[in-house]
């Protein structure tokens, strides 16, 4: 299956050590490590689920990706979100779209607008989406900001989307990939699978442990200073939670004339790409969609604001790599994240 949903708004950098092992139906001590790997949503995925028999859920997994694409892919003209972006007010959105919409509003409010899926018009204009790239300046940015603001859209009781301006453009790319991992987890739960590690483009959900090796699931977090070289900065144990990471060190554009660097993180409040001292963010939450959205928001907001949210939210844990005033690399971790570290 060729999937067209591409995620340009949030570039994820956490990669599990264990997903480099490929194959299917590897037996050990009466248990079977079932592995499914492939491409979907404009990225790759690796799913490990342990059972007492060899299983093949590839058809069901492909179906999950297909349905999410048809609901929320801005790269598929016939998807629900594409129709809504073109101004179609008759679309009745499915339960997945509604869940993502409602969670987006919740996190939009919690981050005071730094997470905002209506930033799509700006994502396109800056050249990080499927729409036409524009030559950006203060006047152009100001003209596009009128189309940004999740307080300008609503979901009706009839499951239709209303917009205060027909040019408002939804882009769920900073939450939909995490949501897709959650949906696969829900499917495996329905099948009675109690131990799995799921990864889609660096977004992770872990349940139970690696019962074949009698160890917890181990996940590595990339060092943002290594660029395209894959070197881990930290390793953690994941169990019964989700993790997402975001960073600007791989996803950016260089203006061929001026040499200026434009990162993919867009500040929804100013409309400009965000060059800040934040190098990378990792967020741990109960579900991957939430972790995904907050990781994106923390790349756009200032460090103190991100710390305040992490310290006040009992569910979230986080790890932020940033540069201090002297240009030195500093790591900030919540106590909950420190407890997950592998020494």
The CATH number of the domain holding residue 28 is 3.10.520.10
**12 touches 244 (CB < 8 A):** yes
Grade residue 308 by pLDDT with cuts at 50, 70 and 90. Answer: very high
Q: CA–CA separation, 322 vs 303, rounded Å?
A: 8
Grade residue 28 by pLDDT with cuts at 50, 70 and 90. Answer: low
Quick check: 77 pLDDT over 50? yes
The answer to whether position 163 is within a domain reads yes
The mean pLDDT of 194-208, rounded to a whole number, is: 96
The answer to whether position 5 is within a domain reads no
Could you tell me the pTM of the whole model? 0.87
Q: Quote the DSSP letter at residue 30.
A: T
Place of tokens 């074949």: 212
The answer to whether position 8 is within a domain reads no
The answer to whether position 80 is within a domain reads yes
Kindly state the helix (H) or strand (E) to which residue 278 belongs, with its residue range. strand 278-285
Grade residue 72 by pLDDT with cuts at 50, 70 and 90. Answer: very high
Total structural domains in the chain? 1
Q: What is the pLDDT of residues 158-181, one digit of tens each?
A: 999 999 999 999 999 999 999 999
Burial class (CB in 10 A: 0-12, 13-18, 19+), 217: buried
The answer to whether position 3 is within a domain reads no
The answer to whether position 139 is within a domain reads yes
Closest CA to 58 of 75, 36, 42, 79: 36
Q: What is the pLDDT of residues 149-158, one digit of tens each?
A: 999 999 999 9
By residue range, what is the domain housing residue 188?
Answer: 14-338
The mean pLDDT of 185-194, rounded to a whole number, is: 98
**CB half-sphere exposure, 70, CA atoms < 13 A:** 11
The answer to whether position 165 is within a domain reads yes
Q: Provide the token pair at 253.
A: 């554009």
Closest CA to 238 of 267, 215, 263, 218: 218
The answer to whether position 7 is within a domain reads no
* Range list of β-strands (E), 63-177: 153-155, 161-163
Grade residue 8 by pLDDT with cuts at 50, 70 and 90. Answer: very low
Grade residue 132 by pLDDT with cuts at 50, 70 and 90. Answer: confident
**215 touches 225 (CB < 8 A):** no
Q: CA–CA separation, 127 vs 342, rounded Å?
A: 39
């Amino acid at each position: 299956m060729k999937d067209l949903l591409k995620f340009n708004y949030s570039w994820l950098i956490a990669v599990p050590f264990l997903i480099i092992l490929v194959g299917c139906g590897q037996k050990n001590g009466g248990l079977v490590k079932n592995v499914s790997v492939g491409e979907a949503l404009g990225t790759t995925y690796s799913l490990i689920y342990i059972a007492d028999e060899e299983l093949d859920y590839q058809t069901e997994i492909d179906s999950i990706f297909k349905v999410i694409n048809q609901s929320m892919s801005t790269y598929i003209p016939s998807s629900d979100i594409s129709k809504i972006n073109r101004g179609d007010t008759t679309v009745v959105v499915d339960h997945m779209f509604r869940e993502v919409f409602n969670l987006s509003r919740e996190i939009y409010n919690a981050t005071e607008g730094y997470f905002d899926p209506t930033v799509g018009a700006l994502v396109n204009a800056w050249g990080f989406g499927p729409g036409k790239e524009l030559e950006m300046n203060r006047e152009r940015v100001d003209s596009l900001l009128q189309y940004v603001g999740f307080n300008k859209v609503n979901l009706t009781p009839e499951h239709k989307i209303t917009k205060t301006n027909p040019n408002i453009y939804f882009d769920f790319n900073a939450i939909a990939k995490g949501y897709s991992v959650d949906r696969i987890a829900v499917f495996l739960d329905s099948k009675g699978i109690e131990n799995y590690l799921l990864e889609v483009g660096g977004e992770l959900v872990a349940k139970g442990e690696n019962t074949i090796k009698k160890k917890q699931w181990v996940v590595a977090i990339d060092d943002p200073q290594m660029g395209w070289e894959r070197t881990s900065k930290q390793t953690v144990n994941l169990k019964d939670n989700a993790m997402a990471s975001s960073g600007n060190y791989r996803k950016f554009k260089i203006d061929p004339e001026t040499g200026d660097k434009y990162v993919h993180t867009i500040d929804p409040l100013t409309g400009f790409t965000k060059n800040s001292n934040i190098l990378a963010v990792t967020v741990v939450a109960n579900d991957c969609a939430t972790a995904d959205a907050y990781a994106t928001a923390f790349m756009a907001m200032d460090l103190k604001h991100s710390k305040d949210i992490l310290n006040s939210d009992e569910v979230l844990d986080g790890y932020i790599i940033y540069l201090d005033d002297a240009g030195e690399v500093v790591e900030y971790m919540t106590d909950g994240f420190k407890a997950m570290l592998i020494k």
